[in-house]
Amino acid sequence: MGPIEPFLLSFVTFFPLLAGVGLLLIAALASWIGTKGLPDSLWKSVGLASTLATFGVSVRLFVEFDATRTGFQFVEHLSWIPEYGVNYFVGIDGISLLMVMLTTFLVPIVFIASWDDIRESIPTFVFFMLFLETGMLGAFVSLNVFQFYLFFEVMLIPMYFIIGIWGGPRRIYAAVKFFLFTMFGSLFMLVAVLVTYLLHFEQFGALQFDLVSTTGESKALLDTVIPLSGQIVDGEPVVWWKTQTWLFAAFGLAFAIKVPMFPFHTWLPDAHVEAPTAGSVVLAGVLLKMGTYGFVRFAIPLFPVAALEFTPIILALSVVGILYGSLVAMVQTDIKRLVAYSSVAHLGFVMLGMFALNEQGLNGSVLQMVNHGVSTGALFLLVGMLYERRHTRLISDFGGIAKPMPVYAAFFGLVTLSSIGLPMLNGFVGEFLILMGGFLAHPPSAAVATFGVVLAAVYMLWMYRRVMFGPVTNPENRSLIDLGLREKLVMVAMAVPILWLGIYPNTFLLRIQPSVIELLHQVEVRTALTTLPSTEDVALLAAADTAADPAADPNREPQP
């Protein structure tokens, strides 16, 4: 471990991809010297081993993470395209730490779970999974907005293929839908990123994509004053143009689609239903967090005033999402689709907590991201196991599964309960904190959201009852085989965080806490920064800067 010490984070991030590429090269070499490439089992084992190794190293990150410190840790900052402020800049705080852990935890699980599930093009699958892991981790650890965007987009590629190659009958449709939805939003984000970047340039005369500065002197995007309104064009303030609002809207759209929030959610059920188990798990477990994480990391701190401005809308959409997702989940006939809609509801909670913009809400929100990843991931795993046996996911095809598969039923029950938010299991802690935070910020919406807890029980238990309980009506279900050792292993592994997060969430909350406080602090500071001087003052300040520093001429071409 010695030599990787200063690059722990990069190691975690890139090890999967390196392993994948290495495998590819070796396979190419092997087929070049005349063998039939590497055996599939080798691909799988090496893939699993490398993800496990990644998880191992990330555990080290978790252990060595200094929970008493705010700010980013394990920071690595390397110049990449310094002329344009594009740097390789990674670091984690408590929030991203959890996301990283979640990712590194889920991917090996997925590997084990889809050991027999994926039967064709295994090398491709392994490679894409490894690629995907790096993509996801990269997005979580990026502190350079450009780099983040890169990873944010890169992720789509493997996911697209995972859905499109190994998916269900309508996989192409789903994959394209997923891709287009996400792409649609993220392009808005790209524009907003560039605007922010140019604003930074206007104010400081330097091109910088770094979110935070590595040293005290240099300025980063978070030092930029994003004006509230009145971009001056030809001396006239433009009334409809509200810089911060629009920028936040652009970021928000990208992330809201990814989350997905209520009206932008329709890609999710399709993607989930069509994706293979592995895809669903990673999609629900990690990819969706990209949206919420994006809000926490970028949208809110960069545009705090606009965030506050949008809070009513987002709260409303979250609440609608919770109720709507729950109600629609209730009437689904396909288990996976049901779980997908439940994701909409769960992420509604996450958004609610986040936009409570207080400690409880944010703590809960971040924790709930992990919870949702674990619970919904586990649900998808379980659905996948059932699908493997019966090749159907229709609730009506089942009934009385608990009889032939008691252990399965037990784990399903556990996960269901965790998803419902039963205390002592993980779902509760997050939901509870979120609702508490919501109550402190905006009681009515939180009160309505609380009703979502009831609905969660309704749809999950109804489904559980219809699938697990009752007589075994379908003769095909009579001879189902209960979970094997591998599957038990997977489920036990999933049960560990479910119970841990439920019984002793402080392990995680302690690490989230400083980051959340820091975030709130940032919001406060930046709100003050943005709101104090009027637009004219900003212009004056900029003019003064221009006088002092010729490089800050706004009309100048951005050049190194």
Partner 1 sequence: MVNGATEESVLRLIPLLPLAAAAYHGVMLGLVRRPTPRTVTIAISCGAVLASFVASCVAFWSLIQHPNGSHLLVDNVFSWIGSGVGVHAFSADVAFLLDPLSSVMTLVITGVGSLIHIYSVAYMDDDQRDDKGFQRFFCYLNLFTFSMLILVLADNLVLMFLGWEGVGLCSFLLIGFWYSDEWNAYCGSKAFIVNRIGDFGFLLGLFLLFSSLVDVGKPAVEFQDIERNLALITEATLAVPEWLGGGEWLLVNVIALCFFVGAVGKSAQLPLYVWLPDAMAGPTPVSALIHAATMVTAGVYLVCRMGFLFAVAPFASMVVAWTGALTAVFAAVIAIAQTDIKKVLAYSTVSQLGYMFLAAGCGGYTAAVFHVASHAFFKALLFLGAGSVILALHHEQNLENMGGLWRRTPRTHVVFLIGVLTIAGFPGLSGFFSKDEILVAAFASEIPGHTWLYGIGLATSGLTAFYMFRLHFLTFYGESRASADIREHIDEPGKLIIYPLYVLAFFAIFFGYAGLPQVWGDLVFGVDNSNSLANFLMPTLAVVPHNQLDHTTEVWLAAAAITAGVVGFGFAWFFYMMRPQLPERIAAALRIPHQLLVRKFYVDEAYDLLFVRPLVAISDRVLFRVIDVAVIDGLAVGGIARLVRATGTNLLRHAQSGFAQTYIFFMIAGAVAIVWILLR
Q: Establish if 273 lies at the interface with partner 1 (CB under 8 A).
A: no
* Side-chain half-sphere exposure of 176, counting CA atoms within 13 A: 3
Point out which residues pair with 232 in neighbouring strands: 237
> Chain centroid to CA 50: how far?
22
Which CB, 454 or 540, lies closer to partner 1? 454
Query: 232 — phi, psi (to 5°)?
Result: -85, 120
Q: Which amino acid appears at position 427 of this protein?
A: G
Does 422 bind partner 1 (CB under 8 A)? Our answer is yes
Q: Please give the Cα distance from 204 to 224 (Å, whole number).
A: 8
- Torsions phi, psi for 77 (to 5 deg): -135, 110
State the binding string over 97-116 for partner 1 (x if CB under 8 A, else -): --------------------
Residue choice 162, 439, 511, 552 for contact with partner 1 (CB under 8 A): 439
Contacts of residue 388, Cβ cutoff 8 Å, sequence gap at least 6: 116, 117, 277
Asked whether position 419 contacts partner 1 by CB under 8 A, the answer is: no
Length of the chain (residues): 560
Q: Cβ closer to partner 1: 150 or 472?
A: 472
Name which position in 69, 119, 170, 465 contacts partner 1 (CB under 8 A). Answer: 465
Contact with partner 1 (CB under 8 A) among 424, 525, 543, 551: 424
**Torsion on CA atoms 102, 108, 113, 115, rounded to nearest 10:** 160
Q: Does 396 bind partner 1 (CB under 8 A)?
A: no
Nearest-Å Rg of the Cα atoms of the chain is 24
Span from 223-231, 358-366, 374-382, 550-558 in contact with partner 1 (CB under 8 A): 358-366
Kindly state the smallest distance separating residue 21's Cβ from partner 1, in Å: 36
Cβ closest to partner 1, residue 313 vs residue 331: 331
CB atoms within 10 A of CB 228: 18
Give CA–CA dist 97/370, Å, rounded. Answer: 11
Nearer to partner 1, 35 or 506 (CB): 506
Helix (H) or strand (E) holding 297: none
Q: Residue 374 interacts with partner 1 (CB under 8 A)?
A: no
Q: Say whether residue 464 binds partner 1 (CB under 8 A).
A: yes
- Nearer to partner 1 (CB atom), residue 55 or residue 324: 324
Question: Least distance from C-beta 188 to partner 1, angstroms?
Answer: 14
- Distance, CA of 495 to CA of 486 (rounded, Å): 14
In the complex with partner 1, the residue whose CB is nearer, 145 or 414, is 414
Residue closer to partner 1 by CB (options 242, 258) is 258
Is 433 one of the binding residues for partner 1 (CB under 8 A)? yes
Give the CA distances from residue 540 to residues 244, 296, 531, 543, 550, in Å, rounded to whole numbers and listed in that order. Answer: 19, 31, 15, 5, 15
Does position 541 interact with partner 1 (CB under 8 A)? The reply is no
d(CA 278, CA 105): 13
CA–CA gap between residue 88 and residue 383 (Å, rounded): 39
* Cβ-based nearer residue to partner 1, 20 or 505: 505
DSSP state of 239: S
Rounded-to-integer distance, Cα 286 and Cα 134, Å: 12
Pair of tokens at residue 414: 């556990």
Min separation Cβ 430 and partner 1, Å: 10
C-alpha distances (whole Å) from 322 to each of 262, 285, 508 are: 8, 18, 25
Find the binder of partner 1 among 79, 266, 396, 531 (CB under 8 A): 266
Min dist CB 412 to partner 1, Å, is 11
The distance of closest approach from Cβ of residue 449 to partner 1 in the complex, given in angstroms and rounded to an integer, is 10
Smallest separation, CB 162 to partner 1 (Å): 22
Cβ 409 vs Cβ 401: under 8 Å: yes
Can residue 210 be called a binding residue for partner 1 (CB under 8 A)?
A: no
Residue whose CB is less far from partner 1, 109 or 436: 436
- 428, 430, 434, 436 alpha-carbon torsion, rounded to 10°: 50
* Residue 469 beta carbon to partner 1: minimum distance, rounded to whole angstroms: 3
Q: Is 358 in the site for partner 1 (CB under 8 A)?
A: yes
Residue selected from 37, 39, 168, 470 as contacting partner 1 according to rule CB under 8 A? 470
Nearest to partner 1 of 230, 505 (CB atom): 505
CA distances 204 to 66, 82, 148, 226, 541, Å, are 32, 15, 22, 12, 11
Binding-site size for partner 1 (CB under 8 A) equals 64
Using CB under 8 A, which of 324, 355, 380, 387 touches partner 1?
A: 324
Q: Give me the DSSP letters along 188-221.
A: HHHHHHHHHHHHHHHHHSS---BSS-SSSSS--G
Helix, strand, coil tally for the chain in percent (to 5): 75, 5, 20
Q: What gap in Å lies between CA 121 and CA 124, rounded to an integer?
A: 5
Return the residue of 227, 364, 377, 384 that touches partner 1, per CB under 8 A: 364
513 makes contact with partner 1 (CB under 8 A)? yes
- Binders of partner 1 among residues 41 to 100 (CB under 8 A) are none
- Give me the least distance between CB of 462 and partner 1, in Å please: 7
313 binds partner 1 per the rule CB under 8 A: no
411 is an interface residue for partner 1 by CB under 8 A? yes
487 binds partner 1 (CB under 8 A): no
Distance of CA 74 to the CA centre of its chain: 20
User: What is the DSSP annotation of 315-382?
Assistant: HHHHHHHHHHHHHHHHT-SBHHHHHHHHHHHHHHHHHHHHHHTSHHHHHHHHHHHHHHHHHHHHHHHH
Binding status of residue 517 toward partner 1 by CB under 8 A: yes
Q: Could you say which of 18, 458, 529, 539 contacts partner 1 (CB under 8 A)?
A: 458
Least separation in angstroms between CB 314 and partner 1: 18
Contacts to partner 1 by CB under 8 A? 177, 181, 263, 265-266, 324, 327-328, 330-332, 358-360, 363-364, 400, 402-403, 406-407, 410-411, 417, 422-424, 428-429, 432-433, 435-436, 439-440, 443-444, 446-447, 450-451, 453-454, 457-458, 461-462, 464-465, 468-472, 488, 492, 503-506, 509-510, 513, 517
